[in-house]
Amino acid sequence: MMISIKQLSKLYRMKSQNVQAVDDVTLDIKRGDIFGVIGYSGAGKSTFIRLINRLEEPTQGQVMINDTNITELSVNKLRKERQKIGMIFQHFNLLWSRTVYENIAFPLEIAGVTKQKRRDKVLELIELVGLSGREQSYPSQLSGGQKQRVGIARALANDPDVLLCDEATSALDPETTDDILNLLVSINQKLNLTIIMITHEMHVIQKICHRVAVMDQGKVVEQGDVLDVFVKPQSKTAKRFVQQLNPLEHNQDSLKPFITKEENSEVVKLHFIGNDAKRALISNVLKTFDIEINILQGSISPTQEGTYGTLYVELDGNRSVIDETIKFIQSSGVEVEVIDDVT
């Protein structure tokens, strides 16, 4: 494992009360993964990411990165180890009196890199993040997306193994968010960089993450492959996030106006995963069975791990034919759920 986190906790002790910001978190993150951590405000996710590079000191537990126990390092060794852990922030944290070039060069100056090597590295990073021609611009002259590109380039200056992203797209509009997410995917693939994404936006998880952990009140209440969590969320928190992506799917009363017949029909929900989402299942059913199909509602969504989709249909025909049709659909690898409370 690239990163192994064991029983990590953070307790803030205050006069009026103690606050358990992170509570006994255990996670393993593979090299080259884009790992998402999602939770609502106050879930502890930003504290958690700051514990990874010890911007916050843990109350207990350990963080292992590349077989190095980050939680046991002395101050001097930690400073050196942090050079391998890049970090980008929601509000960019740029040096406003420095140009784009100078912002990106700053961590290389601190690391004692020679002027010529600094120049070569900065120009390489400026091209990588798509800011060629803006080298001498100041942050006040840049859009939000461009500022975040500077932040990403600066975080990559010391060739880190890990990139921590704390709500990196929260201050951006939807189109710019997608541009930054596409850039992060490109960097992940080009550099085999392990990325940890902290977010409260399920769209971010859906678009770029391979695996996800769901946090609530300091605890990880669910974790797994993004596709598994999206298709079959187990925790209340995960279900709420998934519902945000397609609220109509979770409001089955919205189907009622589209149902044509009530006595001889069955409403079913079909779950498609991976290649099943691309197959011509409905046309195959119509060719095989004497049945009518009324498509009520559906959606297909891509993730980094594959496509998933749901389709609500009304099957109308002889009872035995409906039963045979459902068995046929199940035999094709598509999950079928009969919806009893809408007909």
Is the confidence at residue 220, as pLDDT, over 60?
A: yes
**Residue 86's pLDDT band (boundaries 50, 70, 90)?**
very high
- pLDDT at position 296 is 82
**Residue 179's pLDDT band (boundaries 50, 70, 90)?**
very high
- pLDDT at position 261 is 61
* Euclidean distance between CA atoms 179 and 163, whole angstroms: 17
- How large is the average pLDDT for residues 8-18? 91
Quote the pTM value: 0.83
Q: Is there a contact between 11 and 58 (Cβ–Cβ < 8 Å)?
A: no
- Cα distances from 314 to residues 81, 138, 281, 317, in angstroms, run 59, 59, 14, 10
- pLDDT at position 251 is 55
**Dihedral sign, Cα of residue 165, residue 171, residue 177, residue 182:** negative
- pLDDT at position 245 is 73
- pLDDT at position 293 is 87
- Please write the tens of the pLDDT for every residue from 100-138: 999 999 999 988 999 999 999 999 999 999 999 999 999
SS3 of 8, please?
strand
- Please write the tens of the pLDDT for every residue from 37-75: 999 999 999 999 999 999 999 999 999 999 899 999 999
**% residues pLDDT > 70 (the chain):** 91
Domains of the chain: 3-245 (3.40.50.300), 248-339 (3.30.70.260)
**Residue 34's pLDDT band (boundaries 50, 70, 90)?**
very high
What the block records as the tokens of 193 is 């960089």
**Dihedral sign, Cα of residue 150, residue 154, residue 155, residue 157:** positive
The one-character DSSP state at 31 is T
Residue pointed to by tokens 């079913």: 268
The one-character DSSP state at 168 is T
Task: Compute the chain's Rg from CA coordinates.
Answer: 24
* Euclidean distance between CA atoms 197 and 72, whole angstroms: 24
Is the confidence at residue 311, as pLDDT, over 60?
A: yes
- Cα distances from 198 to residues 50, 63, 258, 307, in angstroms, run 11, 17, 39, 23
Q: Is there a contact between 289 and 317 (Cβ–Cβ < 8 Å)?
A: yes
